[in-house]
């Protein structure tokens, strides 16, 4: 096999020319971080991991914890440069495909096993951040999922079924309680995910890198992979200034896989999504949001947000194949915010940014083997802050111990994502979802 990646995506290889993190709240508040070296030599390793986001770093950490010596991570830019360091920071159970969608696809028992992987991952995340929680996490825990539609019965039924089937204890909040804390007439009932965390996603990712390096992993930044070639008994991974000879390789590239491995590229929808940060709101925050926890709504084209401890509001949402300018993006995101909280109409946007998420047609992570010794762990579809740890655990356990939990993901596979028209199809689907949300709102909220 030779996947040297002719026509590698420019963003994947060059990544903003200087390889540094994009301008965002997270990069601005990261603080000093010692960079990892560039690979400028030839080296060997039992396992080479391509991609220094959360999937790659948790795989490396899982391997090191299981006794694999010197797993190597190759990152084209800085660790956390992609989706892992740009997202809204929400850490919660589950996948992009909802729990009852899982049941429809694989049946109740396997759905429960898959969901439990993320529950175990959440427990492991809490263990791994012990001692640095105040630096990485919001002090208030919990994430609210608020209904945009007048569907109290459906929300109550969901809460009951989640506890009965998945042993996930959610808390129902009536609309009176919601509207006491969220001053908008857009919202109805909700449920609280009490185990949910809010994180500084870039600090969180960098912490995973430090843990992996501390257990013996070798991490190389600014070392884009140009090709992977099968050799006698292993794999030759070539970068610009060095190479790695590995017994096994794990692709953890997700939305930035394009051109590097054909099957994974063809199965991946690289879709942009966006986040905005407001100026400090001071007392004006109390005019809109009165709880320091995370909130998201139940539209397919939903928003998510949380008030930062310094009084600014972090607001995310939208899906697009387009890349608007910084000023245009601020306008777009501010319009979404004011649609929910018009009373904040005179606030200023401080910065807005985008990132590329890797999506699958089936809305589940892509986890498995292409062939013996060639693994993949990617495509977390905007729900990766927790599920990447689950993916890293099942892949590292498979490699180090022969564990077969990764086979739980086999029913989902590598569905063709419609290249080269996949992103356009995704954009069209998003517009369709927006229209469906509006129709549903009209019918339910009259």
Model confidence at 1, pLDDT cuts 50, 70, 90, reads very low
HSE-up of residue 309 (Cα within 13 Å, Cβ side): 12
Furthest CA-CA distance within the chain = 67
Cα dihedral 279, 318, 365, 57 sign? negative
- Is the distance from CB of 80 to CB of 21 less than 8 angstroms? yes
Average pLDDT over the chain, rounded to an integer: 92
* pLDDT at residue number 444: 65
Q: Find the length of the chain.
A: 446
- First-to-last alpha carbon distance for the chain, in angstroms, is 59
Model confidence at 271, pLDDT cuts 50, 70, 90, reads confident
C-alpha to C-alpha distance for 212 and 215, rounded to whole angstroms: 5
pLDDT higher than threshold 60 for residue 61:
yes
Sheet holding 349-359, edge to edge: 171-173, 190-193, 143-146, 294-297, 303-307, 313-320, 269-278, 349-359
Cα dihedral 138, 140, 142, 143 sign? negative
C-alpha to C-alpha distance for 324 and 423, rounded to whole angstroms: 16
- Is the distance from CB of 182 to CB of 145 less than 8 angstroms? no
Integer-rounded Cα radius of gyration of the chain: 21
Of 239, 268, 243, 242, whose CA–CA distance to 253 is shortest?
A: 268
* pLDDT at residue number 421: 62
* pLDDT at residue number 13: 38
pLDDT higher than threshold 90 for residue 23:
yes
Q: Which has the higher per-residue pLDDT, 327 or 10? A: 327
* pLDDT at residue number 233: 85
pLDDT higher than threshold 60 for residue 132:
yes
- Domain architecture of the chain: domains with CATH: 10-87+201-268+362-415 (3.50.50.60)
Helix (H) or strand (E) holding 305: strand 303-307
- Determine the average pLDDT of the residues in 73-84: 98
C-alpha to C-alpha distance for 381 and 4, rounded to whole angstroms: 26
As a three-state string, the secondary structure of 215-260 is CCCEEECCCCEEEEEEECCEEEEEECCCEEEEEEEEECCHHHCCCC
């Amino acid at each position: 096999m030779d996947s040297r990646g002719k026509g590698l995506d420019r963003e994947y290889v060059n990544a903003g020319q200087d390889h540094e993190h994009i301008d965002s709240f997270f990069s601005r508040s990261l603080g000093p971080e010692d960079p990892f070296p560039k690979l400028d030599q030839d080296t060997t390793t039992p396992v080479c991991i391509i991609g220094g986001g959360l999937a790659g770093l948790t795989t490396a950490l899982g391997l090191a914890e299981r006794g694999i010596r010197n797993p190597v991570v190759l990152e084209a830019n800085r660790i956390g440069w992609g989706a892992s360091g740009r997202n809204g920071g929400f850490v919660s159970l589950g996948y992009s495909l909802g729990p009852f969608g899982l049941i429809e696809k694989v049946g109740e028992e396997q759905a429960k096993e898959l969901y439990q992987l993320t529950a175990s991952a959440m427990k492991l995340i809490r263990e791994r951040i012990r001692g640095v929680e105040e630096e990485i996490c919001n002090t208030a825990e919990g994430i609210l999922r608020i209904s945009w539609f007048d569907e109290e019965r459906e929300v109550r039924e969901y809460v009951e079924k989640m506890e009965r089937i998945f042993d996930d204890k959610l808390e129902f909040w009536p609309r009176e309680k919601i509207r006491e804390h969220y001053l908008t007439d857009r919202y109805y009932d909700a449920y609280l995910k009490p185990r949910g965390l809010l994180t500084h996603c870039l600090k969180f990712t960098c912490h995973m890198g430090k843990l992996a390096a501390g257990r013996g992993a070798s991490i190389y930044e600014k070392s884009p992979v140009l090709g992977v070639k099968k050799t006698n008994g292993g794999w030759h991974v070539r970068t610009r200034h060095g190479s790695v000879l590995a017994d096994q390789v794990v692709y953890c590239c997700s939305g930035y896989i394009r051109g590097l491995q054909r099957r994974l590229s063809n199965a991946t929808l690289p879709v942009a999504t966006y986040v905005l940060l407001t100026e400090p709101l001071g007392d004006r925050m109390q005019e809109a949001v009165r709880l320091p926890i995370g909130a998201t709504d139940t539209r397919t084209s939903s928003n998510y947000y949380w008030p930062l401890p310094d009084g600014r509001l972090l607001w995310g949402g939208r899906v697009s194949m387009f890349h608007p300018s910084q000023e245009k993006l601020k306008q777009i995101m501010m319009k979404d915010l004011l649609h929910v909280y018009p009373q904040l109409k005179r606030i200023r946007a401080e910065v807005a940014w985008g990132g590329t998420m890797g999506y699958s047609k089936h809305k589940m992570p892509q986890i498995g083997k292409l062939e013996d010794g060639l693994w993949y762990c990617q495509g977390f579809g905007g729900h990766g802050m927790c599920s990447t740890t689950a993916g890293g655990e099942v892949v590292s356990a498979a490699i180090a111990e022969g564990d077969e939990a990764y086979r739980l993901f086999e029913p989902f596979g590598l569905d063709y994502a419609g290249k080269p028209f996949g992103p356009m199809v995704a954009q069209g689907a998003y517009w369709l979802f927006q229209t469906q949300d509006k129709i549903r709102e009209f019918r339910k909220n009259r």
